[in-house]
């Protein structure tokens, strides 16, 4: 994914519509939660097993892709506005997670590390 190119495209899109005024970090973060909730809503009453079938019907698959795109778009927009290097942030986070969840303690156990008892 060419992050910079998409960010430039999104910036032009917002700028042409005079939407930059709305794209504060606070608003973009709220927009992100709203889009993530629309994605979660698709799976809301399904069992985890049933949620695997979400790509089976064309309509449902389109909704899933649509919401994933919305989340990615707002995330790229926010990162652009705050000069956050997503690639670097992700690498850094994966490194931190590897320390927080060592294989031997984390195996088969998704309890949040801060709630882990040892």
CA–CA separation, 66 and 54 (whole Å): 13
84-88 long-range contacts (CB < 8 A, ≥24 apart) are: 86/3, 87/3
Least separation in angstroms between residue 63's CB and its own copies is 9
- Verify binding: residue 32, its own copies, rule CB under 8 A: yes
Which listed residue (8, 30, 100, 116) binds its own copies by CB under 8 A? 30
Least separation in angstroms between residue 91's CB and its own copies is 8
- Verify binding: residue 8, its own copies, rule CB under 8 A: no
Least separation in angstroms between residue 102's CB and its own copies is 9
Q: Do residues 23 and 77 lie in contact, with contact meaning Cβ atoms separated by under 8 Å? A: yes
């Amino acid at each position: 994914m060419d992050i910079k190119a998409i960010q430039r495209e999104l910036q032009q899109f917002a700028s042409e519509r005079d939407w930059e005024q709305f794209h504060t970090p606070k608003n973009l973060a709220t927009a992100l939660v709203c889009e993530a909730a629309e994605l979660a809503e698709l799976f809301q009453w399904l069992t985890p097993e049933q949620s695997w079938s979400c790509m089976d019907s064309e309509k449902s698959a389109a909704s899933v892709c649509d919401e994933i795109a919305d989340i990615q778009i707002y995330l790229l927009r926010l990162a652009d506005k705050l000069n956050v290097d997503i690639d670097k942030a992700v690498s850094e986070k994966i490194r931190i997670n590897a320390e927080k969840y060592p294989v031997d303690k984390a195996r088969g156990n998704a309890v949040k590390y801060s709630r882990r008892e040892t």
